[in-house]
Amino acid sequence: LLICSTVWTQFFMTGLSVGATTVMVPQLKREQSTEIDAELISWLYSTTSFAILPWVFILPYFTSLTGRKFPQIVNSIITTTSFLILYFGSEIKHIIISEIIQGYFHAANINLMVIILTDYSSVKYRGIFLGMKDASFFWGLWMANFIGTFYHWKNVALLGIICSLYTYNVIFWKESPVWLASKGRIEKCKMCFRWIRGTDKDSEKELQELISDEPQIKYDRIRFIDTISSPEFYKPLLLSLVAVAHYHLSAKMVCSLFVLDILKIITKDENSAYTGMLILDGVTVFGTYVGSYLVKILKRRTLYMFTSCCVVACLLIISLYLYLVKWKVLEENNYVLMVFFCMHSAAVSCGPVVLACSVFGEVISPRFQATSYTVTGGTFCIINMIIVKCSHQMFRVFDVSGTFLFYGVMCCICTSYLYMFLPETRNKTPKEIELYFRPKAMGDM
């Protein structure tokens, strides 16, 4: 729990940094001494997305080489540094520098944090722990929006500095048993595993699976062509890539980043837009915690598919409603629209938000972590950059109605693929999940 709470704190701080941009831009516009144009606004929103890119390729191999503990120590230092610059900086360039530095800990959330959660948590609690990371992210986002609505945005950075101090408990961690086993350090692996998980029957069974399988991972030299043609590699990777695309195409990230712009376009009132933003953030936070609980009691696949269908329905309903208003078939009612937005936030928070990143955290085999997380992380960043840079243009060209229609159709396509190929992973060990993708074991799960 100590280790997982550190990961959740990192996600909370990531939510703070993303939310800070949302509330920072309107405040900077209102400051008479600050010159800020559309191009600069675009860079304030997207700098971190570009800064992530090199680290998503470096971190998986850095983690494979040095373990899990040292990269997290670096992560804690960088997180504190970025928030210090954001708090004490007095010019726009200081904000840009802070966002560039934030690229490391944003990238760490895509791969390092997921690896830590899957390595350190037991099969029994893995799903809820993975779900809580996303709940923490949106809790941080809501806090940033709340602070920025009533106070100066620099208070968000101050809260980030305070939270970052907690993450230095990493110095008390034991190294990951999975990483130790992959390096052939079996006795140290056993000691660390029992320190983390205890010595009950299920834990000992998982430990035996780990130490019996990992020497093969270490010494089996597989050619690259054999790796990419292995079903245990490419099938989980394809599922992970579709899950990443599904996460973005559910429109949650767009709504989180541009919620003020969307609501201002629709409501034509700034105060209503801020109120709507806080309501939607509250629904999102509540939904992610509900989703984290449902992961514990329901099958992952069932929950994921049901909520994904609800998300698609909500996106299409919002689009249809806005088109009908645009064509003057219906009169616009902001309360009705807010209900639709709340339904969308609740559905996407209970399912895709909680489960999308959990998919690649569970289905990717430890044997292929470095390569798979590099490809998945790179894809995450590229899609995120495209969405962040193009969203303003899409709203201008297609309006909110056309944009949501696009997301609804694309989300439906991703949902269909996941429905056909996503296995059930609840209460399955990494070894059991890997066996599902082997040709001789297809259909056994």
The answer on 206 and 98 residing in a single domain is no
The answer on 257 and 185 residing in a single domain is no
The answer on 204 and 62 residing in a single domain is no
The answer on 249 and 212 residing in a single domain is no
User: Hunting for tokens 């130790």 — which residue is that?
Assistant: 180
CA separation for the pair 389, 41 (Å, rounded): 11
Here the CATH number for the domain that contains residue 59 is 1.20.1250.20
So what's the pLDDT on residue 443? 45
pLDDT digits over 304-348, tens only? Answer: 999 999 999 999 999 999 999 989 898 888 888 889 999 999 999
So what's the pLDDT on residue 241? 93
The answer on 325 and 255 residing in a single domain is yes
pLDDT digits over 177-189, tens only? Answer: 888 888 888 889 8
So what's the pLDDT on residue 321? 93
- 444 assigned to some structural domain: no
User: Hunting for tokens 């159709």 — which residue is that?
Assistant: 409
The answer on 234 and 210 residing in a single domain is no
So what's the pLDDT on residue 440? 58
The answer on 239 and 215 residing in a single domain is no
pLDDT digits over 386-397, tens only? Answer: 887 787 778 888
CA separation for the pair 247, 406 (Å, rounded): 14
pTM of the shown model: 0.78
The answer on 289 and 161 residing in a single domain is no
**In whole angstroms, how large is the CA radius of gyration of the chain?**
22
* Residue after which a domain boundary falls, among 162, 197, 220: 220
Range of the domain at 296: 226-439
**Whether the Cβ atoms of residue 321 and residue 336 lie closer than 8 Å to each other:** yes
The answer on 107 and 204 residing in a single domain is no
**Whether the Cβ atoms of residue 211 and residue 186 lie closer than 8 Å to each other:** yes
- 328 assigned to some structural domain: yes
Q: Which residues of the chain have pLDDT under 50?
A: 215-221, 441-445
- 445 assigned to some structural domain: no
Q: What is the DSSP letter of 329?
A: S
The answer on 188 and 91 residing in a single domain is no
CA separation for the pair 331, 158 (Å, rounded): 44
- 25 assigned to some structural domain: yes
CA separation for the pair 349, 307 (Å, rounded): 9
**Chain centroid, CA 268 distance in Å:** 31
The answer on 253 and 186 residing in a single domain is no
So what's the pLDDT on residue 222? 53
> Per the structure, how many domains does the chain have?
3
- 54 assigned to some structural domain: yes
* Residue after which a domain boundary falls, among 220, 253, 283: 220
The answer on 86 and 43 residing in a single domain is yes
* Residue after which a domain boundary falls, among 163, 192, 220: 220
